[in-house]
Structure 1
């Protein structure tokens, strides 16, 4: 898919803004807009929803979320190099994209969003598990989000959905399944990303339980 919104293909965006992925930021860019649109659809019906996305990079998934009808998208991006590319998307979707440049681990963004809220992210590998644990461990339950649709390394995804007494079952599965219903909805090979990571990836969709099990 060359484009979904009149904006340039992602390879051109990366080249124009010199967005070489940085390993220290856990960056692996997903450039196929067919795949990013599919991930957006895995989050369910986005019409009438605010969406939080962490680590949008050049904005491939962001574009998918907006094209799939999200009412409003709030992106949190630590890398300031990505902001100009995201601003170009915001100009194409007036009033529907808010960009916050900063560290998602240090920001409280829930107050910027209106319910219902879905979280959809290709999470940076180096903070993915920590963010998931935080979203599952708020002071008050139910949390601000209704669902999480998140990309992880495949082995982390398998730990999240593992059943009791299976090889992957442990603390992460226990915490997740105590408060949400998780399932793997998509697998992605390393070659889907630029640069290609050394591991396979998987998208996990989690629907919150109104009360813990």
Structure 2
């Protein structure tokens, strides 16, 4: 859609409403319109698409999503930002719905239906928890069509990491066992107000084929155990998970190895045997 040409600059909106990024909420505002439009292009064409945004703040990315033609549902827990978002919703002529609340408490599938794209500059303090929840959707393909998310660069690198390095861990396995994850581009800290202490990056994730006979919750429990004590050998880190050491033996995996040396496929194979043992 085309937003009204007389829409006030985002800096003016922030000043008029007395807004400032709240550290306790993990906020950092993005004001660069070109950068925001670039983020909105990552999922592909959003014309007529439903988009879910978490933590819109004063609405910078929201504007870019609306300019891209999306129908946006945004959830914001910071009540200070709601008047600014209400103004934007009025200008958006029915293309923007704002929910005042905590994203962790939203039943997204019921609210949005299937096929929504999630695009968000996630608050740092809940970003990983939300990602894990979205990746662990019970039904697959999930209710979401794609994830385009801003993270600290270190977290982004953990999501796309390959086996063998220190960045490879639980997030990489959960993001890659039935999805395709990539870093779209880095974002300099100077792009934010206020600038965070770290560089950020935009990650794009699309659902893929789910391996049969594996439950997401089982894989989550397995990776929690394996990487919770990542410096220890698997025989130590997995001894508290019933059936895990037997699964290693059946698969011919050396229990003296450490978790980061296994592949995503190895973790999927272990989880499959755990599920079979539970069902037996």
1:77 shift after superposition = 0.3
State the 1:5 CA deviation.
Answer: 4.8
Residues 116 and 146 in structure 1, CA contact (< 8 A), matched pair in contact too: yes
8 Å contact kept, 1:5–1:67: no
Cα deviations by residue, 1:50-79 (Å, 9 ceiling, x for unpaired): 000000000000000010111x10000010
- Matched with 2:80 is 81
Secondary structure class of the residue paired with 1:146: strand
Q: Residue 166 of structure 1: CA displacement? A: 2.5
Counterpart residue number, 1:18: 18
Map Cα deviations across residues 151-200 of structure 1 (whole Å, 9 max, x no partner).
00000000000012223111110110012101001111111101110000
Per-residue CA deviation, residues 103-150 of structure 1 (Å, 9 max, x unaligned), is: 101111322224421000000000000000000012222210010000
Structure 2: which 5+ runs fail to align?
212-264, 266-280
Unaligned runs of 5+ in 1: none
Give the structure-2-normalised TM-score: 0.72
Aligned length: 210
Matches within 5 A, 1:132-171: 132-171=131-170
Matches within 5 A, 1:46-57: 46-57=46-57
User: Separation in 1 of the partners of 2:54 and 2:5?
Assistant: 21
More strand by share: 1
Q: Do 1:119 and 1:147's aligned partners in 2 also have CA atoms closer than 8 Å?
A: yes
Identify the residue that residue 95 of structure 1 maps to in structure 2: 94
Higher RCO, Cα 8 Å, sep 6+: 1
1:178 counterpart residue number? 177
CA distance in 2, matches of 1:5, 1:192: 24
**Which protein has the bigger helix share?**
2
Give the structure 2 partner of residue 42 of structure 1: 42
Q: Which has the larger radius of gyration?
A: 2
The answer (yes or no) to whether the contact 2:4–2:91 under 8 Å persists in 1 is no
